[in-house]
Amino acid sequence: MSRTEWNHKPDLPIRVMPLWQWPPKPLAVLRWYWDSWFPISIHLVIVGLAFASYAWASPTLEQAARPGWWIAEIWLRNLVLITLVAHGLHLVFHGHQMQGTEHKYDPRPFPRAGRMFTFGHQLRDNMVWTLASGVTIWSGWEALIWWAMANGYAPTMVWADSPVWFIAVFLLIPIWESFYFYWIHRALHSRVLYRFHALHHRNTDIGPWSGLSMHPVEHVMYFGTVIIHFVVPTHPVHLIFHLMFYAIYAVTTHTGFEGFWASGRKRLHLGNFHHQLHHRYFEVNYGTLDMPWDTAFGTFHDGTDEGQAMMRQRLKERRRP
Ligand SMILES: [Zn+2]
Ligand SMILES: [Zn+2]
């Protein structure tokens, strides 16, 4: 890869979760999970936000039994939350460039103007699709499951039933995400569905608002992850966390930077070179790093020159009649 292609690269090669590496490395697996949660991580922040939302900006199960103003409350809470997170990160990294361009992956300026964007501008395009479609469909799914839980169509549980399961659900959701996201994303790259996914790929360079900038059809599929609550017994706070994780994680993995630096040290990992490669080259890295799908199907790009050469070779072979 030439120097001008990337302004910054993280430590390479990118590696998938050690659980899928051979020979087995149990300590590395524990370390991977520990690092993705502690001492401070986006995961933990979202758990906090989910509990706060449950306490102060959600219906009770009794209220949720019938449609009402509580649906608007959920929509408004999600709208305010995503605006604060996405715009806060946008201002820090791109608006005020508080970190300059150090640790920004793509050398091109962000955001850009262009005819392919709604209203001719990347940022406005991203904001409109995130807020009008993204927040509405996210809230719609949340309201549906609240209603289903309240009426006994979806199984529920409380802390006293099983504290172990109550905690385990939080830990399992990010792993489930790595599984679910790969498969719907792969389907979205098929001939039939790519017309919807193309909207997200208007962003060849990305910023926080790009994360949830999707076509409504993609939003329905993306947040459709919560149908699992019809099968698995959960508490409403798990439901809030589940959807919030999908929404906020999309924003924080699309910053376009490796992370937040202060006094010469990375304080918070924000952004994802693995997915940044997907936005640049489209046909690599469909999944995330917790599951080995891309390595299994030969679409993994580890960010190195060898990874680049493998991708070129694969695409060349595909084009041959
Ligand atoms: Zn993306
Ligand atoms: Zn894609």
DSSP 110-138: SS-B-TTSGGGBHHHHHHHIIIIIIIHHH
Phi-psi map region of 152: left, alpha, beta (phi>0 left; psi -120 to 50 alpha): left
Residue 263 alpha carbon to ligand 2 centre in Å: 35
State the average pLDDT over residues 243-261. 95
Note the ligand closest to the C-alpha atom of 208. Answer: 1
Q: Provide the 8-state DSSP code for 62.
A: T
The model's pLDDT over 271-288, given as tens digits with 9 standing for 90+, comes to 899 999 999 999 999 999
The CA-based dihedral angle spanning residues 95, 96, 101, 107, taken in that order and rounded to the nearest 10 degrees: 20
Domain count, the chain: 1
Query: What interhelical angle do 236-252 and 69-90 show, nearest 10?
Result: 30
The CA-based dihedral angle spanning residues 87, 92, 95, 100, taken in that order and rounded to the nearest 10 degrees: -160
Confidence of residue 3 (pLDDT cuts 50, 70, 90): low
Q: How many residues does the chain have?
A: 321
pLDDT for 321: 61
Residue 281 alpha carbon to ligand 2 centre in Å: 9
Residue 148 alpha carbon to ligand 1 centre in Å: 31
Phi, psi of 43 (to 5 degrees): -55, -50
Note the ligand closest to the C-alpha atom of 250. Answer: 1
Instruction: Please say whether the dihedral angle defined by the alpha carbons of residues 13, 16, 18 and 21, taken in this order, is positive or negative.
Output: negative
Of 78-87, 266-275, 280-289, the least confident: 266-275
Note the ligand closest to the C-alpha atom of 286. Answer: 2
The CA-based dihedral angle spanning residues 283, 9, 110, 221, taken in that order and rounded to the nearest 10 degrees: 40
Burial of 304 (0-12, 13-18, 19+ CB in 10 A): middle
Confidence of residue 22 (pLDDT cuts 50, 70, 90): confident
Residue 282 alpha carbon to ligand 2 centre in Å: 6
pLDDT for 146: 98
State the average pLDDT over residues 113-128. 96
State the average pLDDT over residues 212-239. 98
- Asked if 213 contacts 47 with a C-beta cutoff of 8 angstroms, the reply is no
Centre a 10 Å sphere on the Cβ of residue 36 and count the other Cβ atoms it contains. Answer: 17
pLDDT for 35: 87
pTM (2 d.p.): 0.94
Whether residue 127 is predicted with pLDDT greater than 90 in this model: the reply is yes
Q: What percent of the chain has pLDDT over 90?
A: 83
Residue 254 alpha carbon to ligand 1 centre in Å: 7
The model's pLDDT over 42-73, given as tens digits with 9 standing for 90+, comes to 999 999 999 999 999 999 999 999 999 999 99
Centre a 10 Å sphere on the Cβ of residue 272 and count the other Cβ atoms it contains. Answer: 25
The model's pLDDT over 139-153, given as tens digits with 9 standing for 90+, comes to 999 999 999 999 999
Q: For the chain, what is the mean pLDDT?
A: 94
pLDDT for 21: 82
- Asked if 99 contacts 93 with a C-beta cutoff of 8 angstroms, the reply is yes
Whether residue 1 is predicted with pLDDT greater than 60 in this model: the reply is no
Note the ligand closest to the C-alpha atom of 203. Answer: 1
pLDDT for 300: 94
Residue 193 alpha carbon to ligand 2 centre in Å: 11
- Asked if 177 contacts 288 with a C-beta cutoff of 8 angstroms, the reply is yes
Whether residue 15 is predicted with pLDDT greater than 70 in this model: the reply is yes
The model's pLDDT over 178-209, given as tens digits with 9 standing for 90+, comes to 999 999 999 999 999 999 999 999 999 999 99
Domain that holds residue 209: 3-319
